[in-house]
Amino acid sequence: MSQETNQQYYQGAQPFVVTAAAGQTAFVTTFDTDLIFGSSDPTDVNYALNNFKVYTSTSGLPGSFTEYTSTYTVSNNTINFPSGSPIPQNSYVVVQLKTLSGGNYGVQDAFGQTVEENYGGYEYITLNDAIDNFMVGYVGDGKILQRADKSDVLFFAKRSLQEFSYDTLKSIHSQELTVPAS
């Protein structure tokens, strides 16, 4: 999990400033969500597979961003523009996560499934992390437990989750009803 900025986390957007004299051509995104790339051409049916849009602005002011519709490629969460791309020096590029129905950077946030999947990294801890934290905090010389095997701690951690699942962990209840026409 990366350390996202507030803008990445809350807006699903990552800004860049083009500073290279010859024009920057590669932009590495650091979202917790991987970029999915179908096409850079909005008229191509595969463009709808993208889970992001690219916007540019020469001023960076709100409302000045327009969608970038020229050619680019994506590889390993890096957006690559061809050499000589029409992005001038000192302009702004924003990568905006989106839903399939889109969004428009600076006018409305592109909230939806893609941005929502970007949330929640703070919300949960993996079982391995919990066990590692327990081993560091409670096992060893001068601690509550002098010695404990990690496999034993894992067994009791899993067993405790079984106990939690009886009443407290997320569960879905359903009921089937017959509703008369009246």
- The domain in which residue 132 lies consists of 127-167
132 and 101 fall within a common domain: no
* pLDDT 10s digits, 9-26: 777 788 888 876 556 788
Q: What angle do CA 83, 95, 74 make, to 5 degrees?
A: 50
CA distance 121 to 105: 24
The last residue of a domain, from among 97, 118, 139: 118
112 and 61 fall within a common domain: yes
CA distance 149 to 155: 10
Residue 182 within any structural domain of the chain: no
106 and 131 fall within a common domain: no
134 and 155 fall within a common domain: yes
* pLDDT 10s digits, 123-156: 667 788 889 889 899 998 999 999 999 999 999 9
- Paired with 44 in beta bridges are none
Q: Which residues contact 4 (CB under 8 A, 6 or more apart)?
A: 30, 31, 32, 118, 121
Residue 22 within any structural domain of the chain: yes
91 and 147 fall within a common domain: no
CA distance 114 to 94: 16
Residue 147 within any structural domain of the chain: yes
49 and 137 fall within a common domain: no
Residue 36 within any structural domain of the chain: yes
Say if pTM beats, i.e. exceeds, 0.85: no
The last residue of a domain, from among 118, 142, 159: 118
Question: Once rounded to an integer, what is the mean pLDDT over residues 161-166?
Answer: 77
Q: Which residues contact 45 (CB under 8 A, 6 or more apart)?
A: 39
Residue 47 within any structural domain of the chain: yes
Residue 179 within any structural domain of the chain: no
Query: Looking up tokens 């899993």, which residue turns up?
Result: 158
* pLDDT 10s digits, 40-71: 998 999 988 888 888 888 888 877 888 888 88
45 and 84 fall within a common domain: yes
Query: Number of folded domains in the chain?
Result: 2
